[in-house]
Structure 1
Amino acid sequence: MSTLSLAVRDSSTMVRRQLKRLLRYPSMTVQLIATPVVLLLLFVYVLGGTLGAGLGGGRDTYVDYVVPGILLMAGATAATGTAVMVATDMTEGIVARFRTMRISRASVLTGHVVGSVIQQLLGMAVIIGVALAIGFGPNATAVEWLAAAALLTLFVVAVTWLSVALGLKSPTPEAASNAPMPLILLPFLGSGFVPTDSMPTAVRWFAEYQPFTPIMETVRGLLLGTPIGGSGAAATAWCGGTALVSYLWAKRTYDKA
């Protein structure tokens, strides 16, 4: 069997291990899905009337606006769980055990990444389903839906590799749980919940140039037909660049551990 075949076999085993862990401890998965859903309902039904009026409409207008921000927040929230699981593996000795076995070194991280990506995409599907049930009305074509799904997948991969790197660098699972927290704030400090032109100058400058804003604007444009402009290229560059840098960082840290 070739080296590539062995790596694929070992990686699939680690992916199954990760998925079984998610099934055996469903509370984390439920929490990672429930938190964004609760925020979606909160913003739509409690704040949506007022915020929607600021957009020139009402609650129905605001639910369309806020969904991309909630989707990215869901991915950022899931990054916390991924970082904790990686840090737990590193500190409890299971990785040391894996190193003594004849398995592909890359398969351990691959299992975490693929398992987390599957978890996050399923969570996003649930959020979109809830959003549709409460009035979200995208007018995207099949091609635009596929493009939005591809961008969200690239975003999830980037955030997951970043969370893996943060988990590897954290000395304890408790520290790992705090490392990805700034990611959860970025949708608030961007165009996730209100337009950036309503913000003070300094905050607006940060909101317009931070990485989450072009991603949210691109998803919003693809699903709702709003202008995208240069956001698509910026979103792809941010996601691709973050994924590459985070992968190299994680690989280097893991090899040195």
Structure 2
Amino acid sequence: MAQQATPVRTAKLGKAVGPEPTSVSGAVLLLPGGEEVSDRRPSPVWATPFLRALGRTLARTGRDEGLATHIVHYRYRGWNGDAAPMAEDASWAADEIVRRYGDVPVCLVGLDMGGRAALRAAGHEAVNSVVAVGPWLPEDDVAAPSEPVRQLAGRRVLIVHGTNDERTDPELSFRLAARAKKANREVCRFEVHSDGHGLHQHRHEVRALVADFAMGALFGCAVSRPVEDALAAPPPIGLRMPLAAGFGRSLRKR
């Protein structure tokens, strides 16, 4: 009896969040979190409520500009060492955006392990901006860091991290941002004081911040003064910018 071949796994794009624009001028790819090592396939509801709510905020805010927002469905739940399939899937998704919509700018928005995938896949030619929320990063040697930053050159980068995050170390994202800032002025990092990994206390502010940043990066819209100041400030000021309570009240339409 002939042995049946194992099906090849493929990444997928979820359907557009909210109404898909008639004419797409830019895209956001939402990258969920994951595990350090796992060969299991993520479930269809792998994305957290926070990421789904963020997608709705982005879709609503960018509707008039022609923004398409999609969640990326990975092949595997795990980062899985040097193979890094999550980063590969993020790059594939950027290719898929170009195939569907043409030569439009792409913003990668990742949470947790998806934040690392977004940062790693930033070198894709369609990507002009990256947002990493509470990114999971490996412990590194300060003298010889293992996580690359060269691919972030020429991209606008935002990192957001809760200061009380017990799952992903805020200091690691600060150190990565500091290295990236040396070669790229368009890097900023906001600290969400007293909040943890899920950013539950300031979820509205974080969603407003990400939307403000993405609209500026993708469509050249004016960004808020805090984002403008954070991008312009030298380190460490622009990399330890506090996210103020009440940020972006005008974006909190339900």
TM-score by shorter chain over 0.5: no
Between Structure 1 and Structure 2, whose CA radius of gyration is higher? 1
Q: Structure 2 length normalisation: TM-score?
A: 0.30
- More strand by percentage: 2
Ranked by relative contact order (alpha carbons within 8 Å, sequence separation 6 or more), the top structure is 1
- More helix by percentage: 1
